[in-house]
Amino acid sequence: MSEKKKGIREISPIDVYKLLPRTNCGECGVPNCMAFATKVVNGEAVAGGCPPIHDSQYKDSFIKLQELLAPPVKAITIGSDRKITVGGKHVLQRHEFTYQYPPPIAIDVSDDMDAAAINARVHKIAGFSYGYIGRTLTLDAIAVRSVTGDVDRFKAAVKVVVESSDLPLILCTHDPGVMKAGLDVAGNRHPLIYAATSKNWRAMADLAVSHGCPLVASAPGDLSLLRSLVKTLQACGITDIVLDPGTFGDEGLAGTVFSFTAIRKAACRDGDSLFGLPILGTPISVWTGQELSDEVNRWQEVYTASILMTRYADLLIMHSLDGWAVLPQLIWRFGLYTDPRKPVSVEPGLRIFGNPGPDAPVFITSNYALTFFTVESDIKAAKIDCYLIVTETGGLSVEAAVAGRYLNAEKIGDALRNSGVQEKVTHRYLILPGLAARLSGETEEASGWQILVGPRDSSGIGKMIREHWPPQEGN
């Protein structure tokens, strides 16, 4: 009987260390192989990040390492120049191990649209972008759907998309003849083929093999058929398979969540290799249900997408492109796939706003990303020329950092000295966040700077500077 493969949480740094070159050369950016092994088991580095391991003398070790670290849900790449990775999951629950590979969101275009409409929609998809606590959130792929069933129209639609954008593609039709026409145009872009079913699997498998493209196995509402289809496709030599167990809106949503969860449990808990594959969610399918208004369809699509992203979709196809429909998905995905062990932080150091002179105010704050971007936004809104010292607080907010002593008088003194701001201003006043007011006395002693207590909420910074800067002697 074969030994059950270790889960990622059961792999120790020693397991990884034993398979590394163990020369402690430091080429991976950390001082020694054990430190690198620790990063690998924590999901902070990949085994291939050790340059020497690619030497032929370590070939067998590298293969063993990849087998040891392989996730129970296979990672599959879609796209050529621009790529997305789907799957690659190690665990069922986020608290077990940080989720990796956030599910890409593809937006559809269809071949019943004229070229100008396709072009405009593609540009809207590609240009969608939203700045969120220092990150740029974007859409990831385009799903080209054949709705006419016409070979030439599909080919023309795919051509317009290919010429308009380098985003990864999903080609959608159950007709192998139509799919072939799309692949003739976009096959070199390594698109995902949607989909092989119980009726067309042989022809779709041939197309996937001849073009070297990943393939969706689709069996809506029938998990045993889905297993059988995957087994058949694997026997045809196809390894890059994405599962489509069907997405049903409204009253079918509970069953959809059950199917997605059963698949992921089978992969992560039971080591079921037939279900150890990425899952495709198609919230877009709500648009093909009963006749409802567009607004109701959008609402259904929005909550279906959010639920499936939580349980356990690795890739989503949506139709709605309105900001209110798409943005919640992007922000939810950001939250879900952020390492819960590490608060989102920014680099500590001195930030300069506007053209501050020698009498410009000096503020200090924590390096928690949400705090920093809020303070930054409030300073910019108030049009203040100033300096802001961002202190290393382990990514904690000001209040939490003060309570946990991650922000204290000594740290503030060090941050002041290391920032070099004392060479830039002639005064010695530091504006402390209101939430750190209780550090005022000890900070004055530790730093030699006079402390002014700022507002508890950075939205009050503008008013404070207007009314109390420059400070009057004795204040």
- Shortest distance, position 98 Cβ to ligand SF4, whole Å: 21
- Shortest distance, position 94 Cβ to ligand SF4, whole Å: 28
| Residue 69, marked binder | no
- Shortest distance, position 197 Cβ to ligand SF4, whole Å: 46
- Shortest distance, position 45 Cβ to ligand SF4, whole Å: 9
| Residue 395, marked binder | yes
Which position among 28, 144, 158, 171 is part of the footprint of ligand SF4 (CB under 6 A)? Answer: 28
| Backbone dihedral angles phi then psi of residue 245, each to the nearest 5 degrees | -80, 0
Report if residue 369 touches ligand SF4, rule: CB under 6 A: no
| Residue 33, marked binder | yes
- Shortest distance, position 342 Cβ to ligand SF4, whole Å: 22
Report if residue 41 touches ligand SF4, rule: CB under 6 A: no
d(CA 301, CA 180): 30
Report if residue 50 touches ligand SF4, rule: CB under 6 A: yes
| Residue 80, marked binder | no
| Contact between residue 164 and residue 123 where contact means Cβ atoms under 8 Å apart | yes
Q: Which of residues 7-26 bind ligand SF4 (CB under 6 A)?
A: 20-21, 23-26
| Residue 149, marked binder | no
Nearer to ligand SF4, 50 or 139 (CB): 50
d(CA 54, CA 58): 7
Nearer to ligand SF4, 52 or 289 (CB): 52
- Shortest distance, position 18 Cβ to ligand SF4, whole Å: 12
Q: How many residues does the chain have?
A: 475
- Shortest distance, position 50 Cβ to ligand SF4, whole Å: 3
Nearer to ligand SF4, 32 or 42 (CB): 32
Q: Find, among 270, 278, 349, 344, the residue nearest to 316 by Cα.
A: 278
- Shortest distance, position 20 Cβ to ligand SF4, whole Å: 5
Per the DSSP assignment, residues forming a β-bridge with 109 are: 144
Which position among 32, 197, 306, 459 is part of the footprint of ligand SF4 (CB under 6 A)? Answer: 32
| Contact between residue 199 and residue 177 where contact means Cβ atoms under 8 Å apart | no
| Contact between residue 421 and residue 447 where contact means Cβ atoms under 8 Å apart | no
Applying CB under 6 A, which part among 49-57, 370-378, 381-389, 415-423 lies near ligand SF4? 49-57
Q: Find, among 344, 378, 381, the residue nearest to 363 by Cα.
A: 378
Residue type, 422: Q
Which position among 43, 52, 348, 394 is part of the footprint of ligand SF4 (CB under 6 A)? Answer: 52
Nearer to ligand SF4, 43 or 434 (CB): 43
Q: Tokens 């002693």 — which residue?
A: 445
Applying CB under 6 A, which part among 28-36, 152-160, 240-248, 369-377 lies near ligand SF4? 28-36
Report if residue 138 touches ligand SF4, rule: CB under 6 A: no
Largest CA distance in the chain: 86
d(CA 420, CA 400): 26
| Residue 28, marked binder | yes
Nearer to ligand SF4, 53 or 151 (CB): 53
| Backbone torsion region of residue 209, taken as left when φ is above 0, otherwise alpha when ψ lies between -120 and 50, otherwise beta | alpha
Report if residue 33 touches ligand SF4, rule: CB under 6 A: yes
Nearer to ligand SF4, 38 or 165 (CB): 38
| Residue 239, marked binder | no
Q: Residue 15: how many CB atoms within 10 A of its CB?
A: 17
| Contact between residue 316 and residue 309 where contact means Cβ atoms under 8 Å apart | yes
Report if residue 48 touches ligand SF4, rule: CB under 6 A: no
Q: Find, among 228, 225, 202, the residue nearest to 215 by Cα.
A: 202
Report if residue 27 touches ligand SF4, rule: CB under 6 A: yes
Which position among 36, 97, 194, 260 is part of the footprint of ligand SF4 (CB under 6 A)? Answer: 36
Give the annotated binding-site residues. Answer: 25, 28, 33, 50, 365, 371, 395-398, 458
Interface with ligand SF4 by CB under 6 A: which residues? 20-21, 23-28, 32-33, 36, 50-53
Annotated binding site for 5-methoxybenzimidazolylcob(I)amide: 365, 371, 395-398, 458
Output the known binding site for [4Fe-4S] cluster: 25, 28, 33, 50
